């Protein structure tokens, strides 16, 4: 299957700072990428849909000014958690949509564990 | 929007037995149903998926069935092995929604040697 990378894998920051997470599709172009948040022992919750060259679409209840998403190229989307607080601590996972001409499939990055002190 | 229910939340089987996980969905427009396996602290890995134009798909020990009329789909794992132990998530997506996935709550499968 296709490969999606995510960086950093782990980050610890102080409350009030901003953290940027990168998601890259390594061997395919992804016009659409998705950002999820996963709390311990819970399912993946979609935060936003990132479309290359346009504004992201946020799910209900997700603050767009707090979670800034940029999808500047067909292989890179970034999520910036602004003014992070302890309640933002979570596992953030991106996925990239690969269309092979006949079918769509989503492949996930390895995730970023964010800890806000 | 779409709502996906998944059962059971936990499942414990003996090595060699079969495991079945069931999901139901609410949006009749959904036409793509993937299953992901997630080990602790790792990324979800796609293990099998099915699209609405077929009723069953099989890949070695893993199979998925889809009943569009009843809006449910199931994952079947035969001859389970300890390395099958993980959390399994079902999901549903519709072409019209940009293939945005809605996930079930997950099933923790434990295969006892």
**Rounded mean pLDDT, A77-83:** 96
| pLDDT exceeds cutoff 80 at B104 | yes
Answer whether residue A69 shows pLDDT above 90: yes
Whole-angstrom Cα distance, residue A107 to residue A97? 7
Cα distance between the two ends of chain B: 41
- B31 contact A CB<8A: no
In this predicted structure, what is the pLDDT of residue A76? 94
Set of chain B residues whose Cβ sits within 8 Å of the Cβ of A111? 41-43
B58 touches chain A (CB under 8 A): no
Residue for token digits 């099915």? B50
Read off the pLDDT band of A22 (50, 70, 90). Answer: very high
Residue A87 dihedral angles phi and psi, to the nearest 5°: -70, -10
Has residue A38 got a pLDDT over 70?
yes
- Kindly state the DSSP code that residue A50 receives in the 8-state scheme: E
- Per the structure block, which two tokens stand in for B4? 């996906």
Q: What would the pLDDT profile of B34-53 be if each residue is shown by its tens digit?
A: 999 999 989 999 999 998 88
Q: According to the model, what pLDDT value does residue A102 have?
A: 67
What average pLDDT does this structure show over A70-87? 94
Question: pLDDT by residue (tens digit) across A86-103?
Answer: 999 999 999 998 877 667
Q: What is the pLDDT of residue A98?
A: 86
Q: Which two tokens stand for residue B112?
A: 């006892």
Per-residue model confidence (pLDDT) at position A100: 73
């Amino acid at each position: 299957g296709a490969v999606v990378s995510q960086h950093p894998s782990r980050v610890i920051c102080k409350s009030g700072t901003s953290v940027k997470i990168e998601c890259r599709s390594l061997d395919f172009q992804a016009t659409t990428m998705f950002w999820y948040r996963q709390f311990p022992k819970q399912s993946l919750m979609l935060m936003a849909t990132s479309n290359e060259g346009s504004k992201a679409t946020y799910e209900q209840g997700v603050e767009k000014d707090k979670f800034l998403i940029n999808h500047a190229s067909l292989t890179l989307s970034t999520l910036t958690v602004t003014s992070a607080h302890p309640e933002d601590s979570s596992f953030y996972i991106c996925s990239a949509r690969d269309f092979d001409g006949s079918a769509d499939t989503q492949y996930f990055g390895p995730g970023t564990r964010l800890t806000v002190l | 929007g779409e709502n996906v229910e998944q059962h059971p939340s936990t499942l414990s089987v003996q090595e060699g037995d079969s495991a079945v996980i069931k999901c139901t969905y609410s949006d009749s427009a959904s036409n793509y149903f993937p299953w992901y396996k997630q080990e602790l602290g790792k990324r979800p890995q796609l293990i099998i998926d099915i699209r609405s134009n077929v009723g069953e798909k099989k890949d070695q020990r893993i199979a998925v069935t889809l009943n569009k009329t009843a809006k449910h789909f199931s994952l079947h794992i035969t001859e389970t092995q300890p390395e099958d132990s993980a959390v399994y998530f079902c999901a549903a997506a519709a072409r019209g929604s940009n293939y945005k996935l809605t996930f079930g709550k997950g099933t923790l499968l434990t295969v006892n040697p």
